[in-house]
Amino acid sequence: MAKPSVLVTGGSGLIGTRLCQKLSETGYDVKVLTRKKKENSRFKNYYWNPEKKEIEPEALEDCTYIVHLAGANIASKRWTKNRKKEILSSRAGTAKFLYESISGLKLKPTAFISSSAVGFYGTVTSEKVFSEDDPAAQDFLGQTCGQWEAAADLFRESGIRTVKIRTSLVLANKGPLSKIMLPVKLGIGSPLGKGNQYMPWIHIDDLCAIFIKAIEDTNLDGAYNAVAPDHKTNREFTKTLATILRRPMIAPNVSAFVLKGLLGEMSVIALEGSRVSSEKIKNAGFKFKYPTLEQALRNIYRI
Ligand SMILES: NC(=O)c1ccc[n+]([C@@H]2O[C@H](COP(=O)([O-])OP(=O)(O)OC[C@H]3O[C@@H](n4cnc5c(N)ncnc54)[C@H](OP(=O)(O)O)[C@@H]3O)[C@@H](O)[C@H]2O)c1
């Protein structure tokens, strides 16, 4: 019998690369939808250019599942008006384009699994624990995630099971953690701003396991937070990282004023953060392999 196939958009990125590997190990036929096709890739690459509304039709042939991870990086460039447009259109616009692209197919995918982000709840520093029943925040990230999820829901409205994974900071030996780790490793790590903002996080392998559960467990439908149960503020996160890396944490807090000057509006990612619940995915039967930050960091740094 042919293996079920999964088409992964953004399969070349941090999460996508790991997820494709895990999916393949689990027995799926993995296809990557990318703007820059690589001939020597481990997985078959298919070209798309969502801006020009171009997609290789073979990408969608016999496609049992679609996992939608594509999105312009939110932390790599300042949030100018144009960059904000790109951040939104590369998520919501691409989901809509995928939906239009499958509309004419006789054999449609059985499930659409889309990334979303805990930015859905906004950048609010408080003790409130946000759950999936809370509405999208009014700020830029909240509205972006809201529109991203609304575009994903086009699939649901056409009868395709749709799961939206509200992802938190992904811990891996590459990506955002390597930027956070650098000053700590140099012995100059310190909390950002007040340091009391929450930093919801998840180990990359737990996140991939949630995506695979979303594919396989047909009871999963709607939004799920992908966040470890160990809630840490920025100060606690930095302290745990420094302890694991055996570095001191003596430098004063990084001034919010300086970060705002350096990063502009994007500084909210560093200076604010909501506390987010993992109860719904746990109640759906998911067991975290790395429930505590210490366990996750020890695994990543092999300590
Ligand atoms: N990493 C995290 O901590 C984190 C946290 C919360 C949510 N997420 C979400 O999870 C998804 C994947 O994250 P990631 O860390 O793996 O991201 P990543 O490493 O930046 O990869 C994203 C992929 O999206 C594609 N892409 C980039 N710009 C695009 C554009 N303008 N139009 C269409 N496609 C574009 C690229 O694939 P090609 O170049 O091959 O087309 C890229 O490899 C993103 O949507 C992100 O918002 C990530």
* Alpha carbon of 250 to ligand 1 centroid (Å): 34
pTM attached to this predicted model? 0.97
53 Rama class: left (phi>0) / alpha (psi -120 to 50) / beta:
left
Among 174, 164, 228, smallest CA distance to 198 is for: 228
The range of the structural domain enclosing residue 59 comes to: 5-171+202-227
Model confidence at 1: pLDDT above 80: no
In a domain, 294, yes or no: no
In a domain, 241, yes or no: no
Distance of CA 142 to the CA centre of its chain: 14
* Alpha carbon of 240 to ligand 1 centroid (Å): 27
Tell me the chain's radius of gyration from C-alpha atoms.
19
pLDDT tens column, 16-58: 999 999 999 999 999 999 999 998 899 999 999 999 999 999 9
Among 34, 33, 22, smallest CA distance to 60 is for: 33
In a domain, 300, yes or no: no
SS3 content of the chain, % helix, strand, coil (to 5): 40, 20, 40
Q: pLDDT value at position 205?
A: 98
* Alpha carbon of 274 to ligand 1 centroid (Å): 21
What CA–CA distance (Å, rounded) separates 204 from 227? 11
What CA–CA distance (Å, rounded) separates 110 from 242? 45
Residues with CB under 6 A from ligand 1: 10, 12-16, 34-36, 50, 69-74, 86, 90-91, 94, 115, 117, 167, 169-170, 175-176
The CA-CA-CA angle for residues 271, 273, 275, to 5°, reads 155
φ and ψ at residue 175, rounded to 5 degrees: 75, -155
- CB-CB contact of 20 with 8 (8 Å): yes
> With bands split at pLDDT 50, 70 and 90, how would you rate the model's confidence at 159?
very high
Among 189, 194, 193, smallest CA distance to 245 is for: 189
- CB-CB contact of 93 with 154 (8 Å): no
To test the pocket of ligand 1, the residue of 21, 22, 35, 178 to mutate (highest count of ligand atoms within 8 Å of its CB) is 35
In a domain, 52, yes or no: yes
- Count of domains for the chain: 1
Mean pLDDT for the chain overall: 94
DSSP per-residue string spanning 46-59: EEEEGGGTEE-GGG
Model confidence at 152: pLDDT above 80: yes
In a domain, 183, yes or no: no
Nearest CA residue ID for atom 13, ligand 1: 15
Looking at ligand 1, which atom is closest to the CA of residue 32?
A: 40
- CB-CB contact of 7 with 60 (8 Å): yes
What CATH number corresponds to the domain at position 32?
A: 3.40.50.720
In a domain, 149, yes or no: yes
